Structure formats: structure tokens, C-alpha cells
Structure 1
Amino acid sequence: MTSTTARAAPRTRRRIAVRGLLGLLALFVVAEIVSRSGIVPEAYLPPTSIVLVRVGELLVSPEFLGSVLATLGAWAAGLAICIVVSVALGVVLGSSSAVYSGSRAVIEFLRPIPSVALIPLAMLVLGNDAEMKIALIVFSTTWPVLFNTIYGMHDVDPVAKLTARSFGRGRIATLFEVSIPSAAPFIFTGIRIAASVALIVAISTELLAGASAGLGRWMLDASATGNRPDLVYAATIIAGLLGLAINGVLVLIERRFLAWQPALRQTGSGS
């Protein structure tokens, strides 16, 4: 990467961030005007100014923060299990065409099943507590990590593997020293996708299944008791900010540990 490109990358990121903030500000202004003018009743679309005040109040509310932590706990546990299982399984399937061919029918049967369709079964087997959320998160996030790992293993340069073998490296050593590092960008892309999916599934499960705790449960209670759309909108904004923060942290990790990728060296965007 040239010095000019290195200097331009931060400016590009700042320009993109400013444009995003301006777009968000425009959306808030339009929503405020629509609500204040009466085009949409405030019972359905509260003024943005009121919603933003509620956001600030919720961010210092112990009860609300406890619900957020319950959601994040299930999110983290489900995602961690998914990464361990899916990466290991993807490495095995990606390294052996015979194993992949033998398991492909099962994978293609399970993959199209929506996670929300499994909520009744999960409630019957696991109840409606954290175990249910974690199980559904693992199921829904398995596929992006699994398939990205498989694609990454298939994309490994065969010359690199032959070179390692010619230097006396065994099959296992070649796997850990050549194949997995080469597939790492694919794997991390799958993890980034899975992280967003996990948060969506966690909140959706809490809303649809009436979990005992969590952000989705808090939103369900706010909408059912007292008819407080401003609180529901505020919680929704905070949920979006959580997703944005999670993605931002993963982008930073990607830049830190996968900086050797050509795309990251050239643009520094990582997104």
C-alpha cells in the first residue's frame, strides 16, 4: 500500500461516516415533521425529539440495561458455540470432498428452515428461557459461518499446500499453518454476518416467544402495558445502535488481525 493510499483511507472512512450521519439526521427531521404535522398520529409515530429523550432515559435505567444484558448474554453464548462448532465442522467438510458430498443432503435440508419456525419446538423442549434463545441463535448463525469456512478452505492455493508438504510439513501441520490462515478472511466474514443474525434472532425470539428476560421482552411489555410507542421506538433505536457497535468492534478486530488482506491494505475499510 502506497503512502498516498494510506493517507486517503482515513479520509474516505470519515467522509462515509459523515454522509451516514447526515442521512440519519435527515430521517429524524422528516419523522419529526411528519409526526408534528399530524400526517401520522403521535400514537403511531411519536416525535423524534421525544423518542431521543427516551433513548437517553433508557440508557441510564437499571431495569432496561438489565434486559439488554440478558439479550447480550444469550447473543454471546450462542455466537461462541456457533463459532466453535461451525468453524471445526467447516474445516472438516472443506478439507474432504467425500465428507462434504456425504453430508450435503442433510445440510441442504436443514439450512432453509427459518429459525422462527422452530420457536414452538424449542419452547416445548427447552422452555422460554435463555436455553431456548441460545439454541435458536446457534441454529440460525451456523450457516454463514459454516459455508464461509467451507468456501475459504476450497479457496486455499493448492501450490501453497504442496509447497508446505514439500518442506516436510504433515497434513495436520499444513492444515493449521496454511489452510486455516488462508481461509481466515472468509471465516471472519461469516462471523460478522452471524453476529448480526444472532442479535436479530435473540430479540425476535424474546418478542415472539415471550422470553422471561431480554430486550425483546422489555419491548413487548412496553407495548402491551401503558401503550408507550415512544419507549418502543427508543428501545428499537438502542437495538440498532447495539448492532452497529457490534459490527464496529468486529471491523476493528478484522483490521487488527487480518491486516494482511489486500482489500484491507488498500482501503482500510474492512466493511
Structure 2
Amino acid sequence: MSSQGLVQKAAFGISWIGASVIEFFRSFVEETGRIMLFFHESVRLIFAKPSRFPEIIKHMEFIGNQSIWIICLTGGFTGLALSMQIYLGFKMFNAVNMVGPVVALGITRELGPVLTGLIVAARAGGAMAARLGTMRVNEQIDALEVMGVNTKQYLISPRMVAAFICMPLLTAVFDFVAMMGSWFLCVKIVQLDEAIFWQKIRDMIEVKHINEGLIKGAVFGIFFALICTYRGFNTTGGAKGVGEATNQGVVQSMVMIIMLDYFLTNLIRLYYSLMGIS
């Protein structure tokens, strides 16, 4: 092959890559803009009449009450597993009395809100996307609009409010159960001193550490509810589209939660630094 042919192929490959990158970012920006407009309208309609308080309570029961069992189960075994790994590591340095506070910091600030967000996004977020998607392809949403019902106020806003309220509460439940799992392993299984276990935790854990996790939980709740309801509300393509919307909603919610955790951690650290909080 001549050098001219190689140059032409290289130029074609570079132009194809460039066009693909541009198209990706264009689609990403457009989709982000549509989601933000969807979010703005849904938040604005929270305070509109008529009140949808009964719908909020119904969705709080679904997101909150029906998630408690799986949150407790996951939290308990997370506390057990994390404590065992930290105990085995600290045992090599004769620092086993620090297992409790290290686990408490990790649970309250990071693992509690993140794992709670991932679990609830998979369970409740997937259900949101599937239900709204089914309503869309069955033309139930269209029927509500014909009847004069503001579908975003009736279907979207209550779910977002319920997720915002329930996620910090579920995070607190996860934190408590995980610490009970840590206590059980450290005190009852490996026979650490119980008084020292709790005293070390009291010395190191502050209210701000717990609040950090609860704030993250609330933000995660807003975002997974936004993404999943957006995907479900804009479903197309029949039954196949419902499955795709549910899959996209859950996957994007989980990825967003992990990404947000990093940025929120740094924002909170920056806030503490500006406020002079150590």
C-alpha cells in the first residue's frame, strides 16, 4: 500500500473518532439539559395545587418501609465483614482497639449512604422506571393528561419528595445496624473489651460525620428518583422499551451515586475548611 493510501486511511480514522466524540458530547449535553428541565419542572410542581400529600405518603411507604428489611440485612453483614477485615489488618500492628472507630467512620461517612443508595436505587428506582414506563406504553399517562391531570405533579414530584425524605432515614438505619454488626463481631466473637470499643467510637465520631452521610443520602435519593422517573416517563418502544428504560435508569442511577459520592465528599471537606471546622 502506498504512503498516500496510508495517510488517507489515517485521516479517515481520525475524522471518524473525532465525529464520534463530538456526537457523544452533543448527545450528553442535550440529554443532561432535558433531565435538568424535567427536574426543574418537577420540583416547581411540588408546591402546586392540588396537594399530592397522600401520594407522597404512599411512595414513602414503598421506598422506605418496604426497603427496611433488605437495608438491615445488608447493613448487618457489611458491619460484620468490614470489621473482620479491619480487625485482621490492625491485629498485625496491635491496634485492634481502633477497629470500632474506623468502622464507624467508614460506615457513617461513606459506606452507609453509598450502599443504601445503590440498594434503594436498584429496588425502588427500578420499580419507578418500570411502572412509569408501563403506564407510558399503555397510554395511561396520555389518558391522565386528557383528563386534565398534571402528570408530572401527580406521578413524578411525589416520588422525588418521598425519596428525598426516606433516604436519610434508611441511611441512619443502615448505619445503626452496621454498627451493631461490628459490635457483635468485635465484642462477642473476637472478644475485644466492650467498654473500650464504645469509648473509642465516642472519642472519634462527631455529629458532623453522621450528618455528612445523611446529607449524601438525601442527595442520592433526589438523583436516583430523578433519573429513574425520567427514564420511565419518556419510555418508547413498547415492552422492550420498558425493559431498556428500567435498565438505563438503574445503571445510570448507580453510576451517578458513586460519582456524586466523590464530589460531595470534597465539597463537604471544602465547606468545613472555609468554615474553620476541623
Q: TM-score range by the shorter chain?
A: 0.3 to 0.5
The structure that is helix-richer by fraction is 2
- The normalised TM-score by structure 1 is 0.34
Larger radius of gyration: 2
